Amino acid sequence: MTNLIWHCQKLVLNPIMNSTKESALGLFKIHITAWNLKDWSYFEERLLQRFPGRALDKLDGRAFLLLDIIQDNNEELILRKLKEYYGYLKELTKT
């Protein structure tokens, strides 16, 4: 598993690559993570409005919002989504 992290103040864009039976680069998951629930609560309403229906887990005092699961190492889609989400988080955390 490869784990890359981009910080935008209190939120983290956290992509994780998982292998599958078919491919070492089988699944690419993109999460927004807050390392504490206080930071999460400040942004929660806006994030859930922007990303409705996405899986949200609150575990061990942290919040994890799953944005995407991209299959089959689709590099173009991965890069496009990372850029889109990073741009959104950058703007969101300016406020």
Is pTM, for the whole model, over 0.85?
A: no
What percentage of the chain carries pLDDT values higher than 90? 58
> Average pLDDT of the chain?
87
In the chain, where the domains are located = 2-92
Decide: 34 and 43 in contact? Cβ < 8 Å. yes
Q: What is the pLDDT of residue 4?
A: 46
The predicted-structure confidence for 33-53, as pLDDT tens digits, reads as follows: 999 999 899 999 999 999 999
- In the three-class reduction of DSSP (H, G, I as helix; E, B as strand; rest coil), residue 82 is classed as helix
- In the three-class reduction of DSSP (H, G, I as helix; E, B as strand; rest coil), residue 93 is classed as coil
The predicted-structure confidence for 47-88, as pLDDT tens digits, reads as follows: 999 999 999 999 999 999 999 999 878 889 999 999 999 999
DSSP 1: -
